[in-house]
């Protein structure tokens, strides 16, 4: 048999070594090709437009959860400060 398991393994290892040695260049070629030939804006727009309103709300809430938490904390601090100032003003006026 001409094509033995050892030859197949050696060829596979050689190809793997070539790919691993040129990983950055291969990635650059593929990313340039993708940028030039794939319209990501249309793909993403189509995917989002196919979501139901409930699913879209779920995604947005998931992504904004951290920012919403910061807004809640800042609102609480600001509310406390405004309340304290109002209290001090009522003490001064009386």
pLDDT in 10s for each residue of the chain, 94 residues: 566 888 888 888 999 999 999 999 999 999 999 989 999 899 999 988 888 899 888 988 898 888 888 899 999 999 999 999 999 999 999 8
pLDDT value of residue 26: 92
For 18-31, b/e burial (b = at least 16 CB within 10 A) is eeeeeeeeeeeeee
Whether residue 45 is found in the same domain as residue 61: no
**In angstroms, rounded to a whole number, what is the distance separating the alpha carbons of residues 94 and 44?**
62
Whether residue 37 is found in the same domain as residue 56: no
Whether residue 28 is found in the same domain as residue 60: no
The closest of 67, 7, 18, 9 to 75, measured between CA atoms, is 67
**In angstroms, rounded to a whole number, what is the distance separating the alpha carbons of residues 8 and 16?**
12
**In angstroms, rounded to a whole number, what is the distance separating the alpha carbons of residues 19 and 79?**
59
Q: Report how many domains make up the chain.
A: 2
The SS3 assignment for 4 reads: coil
Whether residue 56 is found in the same domain as residue 32: no
Whether residue 25 is found in the same domain as residue 65: no
Whether residue 29 is found in the same domain as residue 58: no
Whether residue 33 is found in the same domain as residue 67: no
Q: Which residues form the domain of 25?
A: 1-50
Which residue carries 């910061």 as its tokens? 70
**In angstroms, rounded to a whole number, what is the distance separating the alpha carbons of residues 48 and 46?**
6
């Amino acid at each position: 048999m001409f094509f033995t398991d050892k030859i197949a393994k050696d060829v596979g290892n050689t190809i793997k070594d070539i790919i691993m040695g040129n990983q950055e260049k291969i990635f650059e070629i593929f990313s340039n090709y993708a940028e030039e030939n794939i319209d990501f804006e249309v793909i993403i727009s189509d995917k989002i437009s196919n979501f139901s309103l409930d699913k879209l709300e779920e995604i947005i809430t998931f992504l904004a959860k951290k920012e919403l938490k910061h807004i809640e904390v800042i609102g609480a601090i600001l509310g406390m400060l405004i309340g304290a100032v109002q209290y001090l003003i009522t003490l001064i006026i009386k």
